[in-house]
Every structure is written in C-alpha cells, then in structure tokens.
C-alpha cells in the first residue's frame, strides 16, 4: 500500500499540507468540503505537489517537515525548482543575494520542471 504527502493551494492563496493513504479519495474530500475545516472554507483547492511513500510514517514525516517550510520553499518544491529549493533551504544570512545581481554571478538558471502529480 502506498501513502502520499501533498500540498494544496487554496482559493485564498494559502497552502495546506497533508498526508493520506488514498490520494484520489482525499482530494475529492477536499474538493467537496466538510472533511477538513481549513480547506472547506478556502475552496476551490488545487493539488500542486505530491509524493508517494512506502509507509504511513514516511508520508507523515514528509508532511510535518514540509508543513514548516516557508511559502517560497513550498513553491520551489511544487515547481521542481531544485536551485531555488536549495537556496531557501539555507538560513537567510547564508544565502547569496540574487537581487539586482549584486553578487556578480547573476541569477541561477531556472530548473523548473513539472510536478510529479
């Protein structure tokens, strides 16, 4: 049996992070409302990222880890932008500035890909 961790973008722009053993059923619950107060008040919702895990423990662990991430880091994950994800994984004081190319290296190439979902 597979388990999933996922991120939804709500109509108001907020993100919801969760995990489930049945992604299709859980998405239907989020879309129809009632099963989750947070998303019921913020419909419609859009699945922007999901990942499959072999155990519930691993899916829950991924949910709890991703839930703490900044908005920018979640957006980088959803876009499969590994350069940005790596950038936001470092503490702010350790990040190289890319604004106005002040570091002389220019902006990193955009490694955007498609979401696995």
Split at pLDDT 50, 70, 90, the class of 98 is low
28: containing domain: 1-67
Q: What is the mean pLDDT of the chain?
A: 88
Indicate if the pLDDT at residue 10 is higher than 80: yes
Residue 20: CB atoms within 10 Å: 20
Return the pLDDT at 101: 53
Residues 32 and 17 in one domain: yes
Q: How many domains does the chain have?
A: 2
Split at pLDDT 50, 70, 90, the class of 96 is confident
Residues 48 and 99 in one domain: no
Indicate if the pLDDT at residue 71 is higher than 90: yes
Residues 39 and 58 in one domain: yes
Q: DSSP alpha helices (H): ranges in the chain?
A: 23-32, 37-40, 56-67, 71-78, 82-89
Split at pLDDT 50, 70, 90, the class of 77 is very high
Return the pLDDT at 95: 86
Split at pLDDT 50, 70, 90, the class of 113 is very low
Residues 46 and 80 in one domain: no
Residues 62 and 12 in one domain: yes
| C-alpha torsion sign, points 24, 12, 77, 16 | negative
């Amino acid at each position: 049996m597979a388990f999933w961790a996922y991120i939804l973008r709500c109509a108001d722009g907020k993100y919801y992070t969760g995990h489930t053993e049945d992604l299709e059923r859980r998405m239907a619950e989020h879309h129809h409302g009632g099963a989750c107060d947070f998303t019921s008040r913020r419909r419609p919702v859009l699945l922007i990222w999901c990942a499959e895990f072999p155990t519930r423990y691993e899916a829950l662990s991924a949910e709890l880890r991703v839930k703490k991430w900044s908005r920018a880091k979640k957006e980088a994950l959803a876009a499969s932008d590994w350069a940005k994800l790596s950038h936001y994984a470092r503490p702010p004081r350790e990040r190289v500035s890319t604004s106005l190319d002040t570091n002389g290296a220019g902006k990193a190439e955009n490694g955007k890909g498609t979401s696995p979902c």
